[in-house]
Chains A and B, each alone.
Chain A
Amino acid sequence: MKKSKFASLFLASSLLVGVLAGCGSGEKSSSTNGGEVSSTNGGDTIKIGANLELSGAVASYGSSEADAIDLAIEEINAAGGIDGKQIELIKVDNKSDAAEATNAAIKLTSQDKVTAIIGAATSGNSVAQVQIATDTKTPMISPSGTSTTVTVGDNGKVNPFTFRTAFIDPFQGTVAANFAVNELKVKTAAVYADNASDYAKGLAASFIKDFEAAGGTIVAEESYVAKDTDFRSTLTRIKGSNPEFVFIPGYYEEVGLIVKQARELGIEVPLMGADGWDSPTIVDLAGAAALNNTFIITAYSAEDPDGKAKEFADKFTEKYGKAPNSFHALGYDSVYLLKDAIERAKSLDGTKIKEAIEATDNLELVTGLYSVDEFHHPIKSATIIEFVNGEQVFKTKVNP
């Protein structure tokens, strides 16, 4: 009882401090933004903040991105920096916690007075710093936050200073539809989506819209619920409608079983999903043979033969002794997206950099061509991976 009282007191006081700190930073930066920023930053360095998950539950995402950001900044500095100015990276650990992410953003904007922030890796922690970024007019780029709420507020308005490098979830439905129509040349498709997940429903809706717009016919639209184990009856139904292609947005735990049961029932057509499939466990669940002729979408593949991607993979492997993954590539790309914008803005003013990022048009990055739409969602290339005997093999890159 005593303990909880103490805890609540502590919590209350820390909240109060947080509020005060928030006010303080707001005032400070609004006064500094006028011109002082450029004078503090006017030296020979450009300060960039990294607000990442370096510890805590999703530390692997944040640290992967931090490694790649280090690599990118080393390269840029070695090549003479941006307009002759070296980049100084200030990394802050948000401990995989939204409140800490807000604190880290306050520290970066008020104490360190950074020009821009890269981070956070997850949507939740990115959303936590949106208000600070907006108030202090500091552009922030979330490398891997895929939820729409990162760049679009609850009121449906775009958060003006927030950007992202990864494509948003529903965009993958569009990619899948393009791939099915243009590469696999199918005319009919079935959709089997996880009804318990907004992610899967979003993907299914955008797939159906774009597949039909491209002249395809959806012959079956079925749902399952996460944690189900028996999909045979619905799959039998899908088989009865004779689709040439089945789109299964969902997560690997169920998808592994769906793929296995579908193949057992004699559904031999191509099956496709999105990044929710991307886990080694899916091979155990479905079996390597059943996974043949299935495709997934990812932001990046280390096997991508494209010049820029290959160069990055080589450099990364040389420095860290392992092949890069999507988080590495997205972290790396975030730095170059920012560099490109600062160069075009010819200024370190937050608003000018923001406008420059908004004007980004087919910028060549490791993960492909990158443009920004009016909601600050990227329109960019996606990588299609095919499973061949349980191994992920680079299939193709679909450009927007």
Chain B
Amino acid sequence: MEWLQQLINGISLGSIYALIALGYTMVYGIIKLINFAHGDVFMVGSFIGFYSITVFGLGFFPALIISMAACALFGVIIERIAYKRLRNATRIAALITAIGVSLLIEYGVIYIRGAQPEAYPDVFSNRSFELFGAQISVQSILILSVSVVLMILLQFIVHKTKTGKAMRAVSHDTEAAKLMGINVDNTISATFAIGSALAGAAGVIFGVYYTKIDPLMGVIPGVKAFVAAVLGGIGIIPGAMVGGLVLGVVETIVSALGFSLWRDAAAFVILILILIFRPSGIFGKNTREKV
């Protein structure tokens, strides 16, 4: 069953895109900023997880939690230092700043530890079992379940908590939210914290699944996740999840048909088509729910 195998490959890849895309979409939803540094937060998360496992000898779950916490903090620091003072500046100024922050993080990490890649240690047994002729590794199941749990958790936070309510309110109308007594600055910081924590989780998952991590690893997944966010409708949380999964599966199908060299192009062709025919994304028209 080659096709079942390919579907599993695609969903695994897609769930990593989806986790990163969520951060993009949340930040865009709340301050209309494409945070290009998001892919680099993903990279930093991956390295934090790596050092937690190799240097401190932690297991996968403690490393995942440490990485998420550290990335949340990192995201808030980036927001406070780089973006907060630009809140009333033009959007292009904020966008350029985001690119600057992205380069700063990438090359800062290279400066600190060098550009050489690092190999993630095996934290799970590499066992795999056969299901209808497809090889499913324990790893990919765990990774998929962690992603799903995180997405459910995010939905819970956004819909059932006070912070989530504040986030939705700020996204809907910042001025009105302020008048209602919502602390807008803290809410924006919370958004960055949650988005960055998800990127950190994606980083650790990526490391475990794909083994190789390096300081520039965030660039391509960052761009792909951006495409996924736009595909689903930027600013819309379920859109990012669906967009990520669709993108992962489409890329896998392109490779499966023997056009592996066109795989990256496929992502951008999708971006172009979406921008032409449905600029607001798959979920853009129907749902007005934004974060």
User: Which of B87-95, B178-186, B239-247, B255-263 lies on the face that meets chain A?
Assistant: B255-263
Q: Complex Cα distance A379/B160, Å?
A: 73
A41 within 8 A of B: no
Q: Are B5 and A265 in contact (CB under 8 A)?
A: yes
Tell me the B122-146 residues at the A interface (CB within 8 Å): 122, 126, 128, 130, 135, 137, 139
A266 touches B2 (CB 8 A): no
Interface of B is mostly: helix
Contact A236 B261 (CB under 8 A): no
B80 CB to closest chain A CB (Å) equals: 32
Are A234 and B260 closer than 8 Å at their CB atoms? yes
Total A-B Cβ pairs within 8 A: 75
Complex A-B: 21 CB contacts under 8 Å? A195-B261, A222-B258, A224-B260, A230-B9, A233-B10, A233-B252, A233-B255, A233-B256, A236-B2, A236-B9, A236-B256, A237-B2, A239-B2, A256-B212, A257-B212, A264-B126, A265-B5, A266-B128, A266-B130, A287-B122, A287-B126
Q: How far is the CA of A284 from the CA of B12 in the complex (A)?
A: 22
Given known contacts A229-B210, A233-B9, A285-B212, what 13 new A-B pairs fall within 8 Å (CB)?
A: A222-B258, A224-B261, A229-B212, A230-B9, A230-B13, A230-B210, A233-B260, A234-B256, A236-B2, A236-B6, A237-B255, A264-B128, A266-B130
Does B149 belong to the interface (CB within 8 Å)? no
0/1 interface trace, chain A 226-258, chain B, CB 8 Å (1 if under): 010110111011011000000000000100110
* A33 in contact (CB, < 8 A): no
Number of interface residues of B (CB under 8 A): 32
Interface residues, chain A, with chain B CB atoms under 8 Å away: 195, 222-225, 227, 229-230, 232-234, 236-237, 239-240, 253, 256-257, 260, 264-266, 281, 284-285, 287, 289
Among A230, A237, A253, A281, max chain B CB count under 10 A is at: A230
Q: Are the C-beta atoms of A240 and B212 separated by less than 8 Å?
A: no
Residues of A within 8 A of B137 (CB): 264
Pick from B5, B211, B253: contact of A260, CB under 8 Å: B211
Task: Tell me which residues across on chain A come within 8 A of B211, comparing CB atoms.
Answer: 256-257, 260, 285
Beyond A233-B256, A253-B212, A256-B119, whether A264 also contacts B261 by CB under 8 A is no
A234 to chain B: which residues have CB within 8 Å? 255-256, 260
Cβ distance B138 to chain A, nearest Cβ, rounded Å:
10
Chain A residues positioned under 8 Å from B212 (CB to CB): 229, 253, 256-257, 285
Q: A237 — which chain B residues lie within 8 A by C-beta?
A: 2, 255-256, 258
> Which residues, 212 to 271 on B, are CB-close (under 8 Å) to A?
212, 217, 220, 251-253, 255-256, 258, 260-261, 263-264
